[in-house]
Amino acid sequence: MSWSNVNFLDLPNEILFIILKELGNMDVLYSLLNVDNQRLDMVVQEKMFTENLNFVLTTSTDDIFPIADNIIDRFFKSPFHRIFPQQIIDLILVYKESRQMFSMEQYTKELHKNIFNFFKNLQHLSINGSCLFLSFRNLPLTTCSSLNLKKLCVGVKSFEDCLALLDGRLKELTTFILEISNMNDKVSTVYNMDDLPNLKCFSLICDCSGKQYDVKIVPLLRRMFNLEELTLNIIIEDRTRFIDGTHLKNEVFVRMPQLYKFTFHISTETKLQRLVHGLSSDDIQKTFSNIGYEQVACVINYCYRSAECHIFSLPPVFDTLHSIGNTFPSIVFSYVTSLQVHDEVPFKHEIFLRVAKFFPSLQELNVLNIKSESQISDNIASTETSTFSSWFIERRYSKNVQ
């Protein structure tokens, strides 16, 4: 058998495309754009190669802010200046935690308006970072606008920033994944509040008061009359009634005839003296069964003159659960990493065994109980106690040293 000596560049373009696609788009771009070979430059700039490019930028806001005016030049023009920006349709920005304080208003104007100007055909944009919340208020409609963007994942400083993004500047948006840092009451600008017929998928994380939920969140959801998928992870404080299936049907779902997937964790907190009508967990679950949602769980905790009601779809997909008491359903909370347990009734050692069993991913446990821990039950074997104590100490220690 004889071996032929074939050079990589001797292969036809069709074979080169197959090989390069297997290597990953970003790896290829970094490796080949600056090798000073005209044919390779042409290959990696072919539309069939770059049209589905996923561009991920990871950087620190400490580095970005001082050079906000030149952000495009620094990050997108070398070596990417020879890629036609209109061919990039997916962009993920991942920011490391900043050690410096800076103006988010200026940061947004100087950076993210340039993203839409530079990537004309951008369809998917995700802006991620630890505690990174942006502001879009008081920006003209021509800023941060796009006729092509279909999916946006972002954290914003206030509810007004959400209204700004939905005021018509992103007409073709079909998926909106949103976290709101502060549900402030003040709205400084009058925004377009028309319906959002193109929105098919909406996800919201926020904390709000009962009034803010009723006068802001509910009207926002009612604008999405063609919604097919809805995800809510919200905490509502000082509301006189618990959120239940009847409320959601009458106030939200009535405007969403196309909705087929609802994933949620809604926590309603209030003082006992303000609670108008307190339902049991069984009563609340029945309100969901009455509207066709069987896979729902409810946990109610009456503690220290307060009441907190958690309702969530099954299986649970949220990562934080606060203010549950001595009793909770025997459900595996696979994603919960942070748990707060408090109760007026003294804790027994069994609760820690149940926590270990039903919260396998737990990293942070906060326990609040004014009364001292009850005597360990006789049915708890000493080996079980020893095993759990080791687990608990190790989990807390590993969290503290990270």
Q: Write down the pTM of the prediction.
A: 0.77
DSSP string, 34-73: TS--HHHHHHHT-HHHHTTEEEEEEEEHHHHGGGGGGHHH
Helix (H) or strand (E) holding 160: helix 159-165
What pLDDT shows up at residue 337? Answer: 94
Task: Work out the pLDDT band at 397, boundaries 50, 70, 90.
Answer: very low
| Confidence grade of residue 400 (pLDDT, cut at 50, 70, 90) | very low
Q: How confident is the model at residue 381 (pLDDT cuts 50, 70, 90)?
A: very low
Q: Provide the pLDDT for residue 368.
A: 80
**Paired residues of 375 in beta bridges:** none
- Residues of the chain with pLDDT > 90: what percent? 39
> Which pair of tokens denotes residue 115?
């993203």
207 close to 234: Cβ distance less than 8 angstroms: yes
Indicate if the pLDDT at residue 32 is higher than 80.
no
Q: Reply yes or no: is the peptide bond before residue 79 cis, omega within 30 of 0.
A: yes
Q: What is the pLDDT of residues 302-326, one digit of tens each?
A: 877 788 899 999 999 999 998 888 7
Where are the chain's structural domains?
Answer: 9-316, 319-402
Whether 301 has a pLDDT exceeding 80, the answer reads: yes
Question: Do 240 and 212 touch, CB atoms closer than 8 A?
Answer: no
Show contacts of 185-191: CB within 8 Å, 24+ apart.
185/212, 186/160, 187/159, 187/160, 187/163, 188/137, 188/138, 188/160, 189/137, 189/138, 189/160, 189/164, 191/160, 191/163, 191/164, 191/166, 191/167
Confidence of residue 38 (pLDDT cuts 50, 70, 90): low
pLDDT in tens, 234-253: 999 998 899 999 999 999 99
Q: Which amino acid is located at 109 in the chain?
A: K
Residue 43's Cβ-count burial label (10 Å; 0-12, 13-18, 19+) is middle
Q: Within a 13 Å sphere around the CA of 300, how many CA atoms are in the beta-carbon half? A: 17
Question: In 290-398, which ranges are E strands?
Answer: 296-303, 306-313, 320-324, 338-342, 364-368
Phi, psi of 95 (to 5 degrees): -105, 135
pLDDT 10s digits, 265-284: 999 988 877 777 667 889 99
Edge to edge, what strands does the sheet with 320-324 contain? 320-324, 338-342, 364-368
The conformation of residue 217, written as its DSSP 8-state character, comes to: I
**pLDDT digits over 197-217, tens only?**
999 999 999 999 999 999 999
Q: Phi and psi of 399, rounded to 5°?
A: -70, -40
Spatial separation of the C-alpha atoms in residues 309 and 307, rounded to whole Å: 7
Cα–Cα distance, 116 to 267 (Å, whole number): 36
Cα gap 362→399, rounded to integer Å: 10
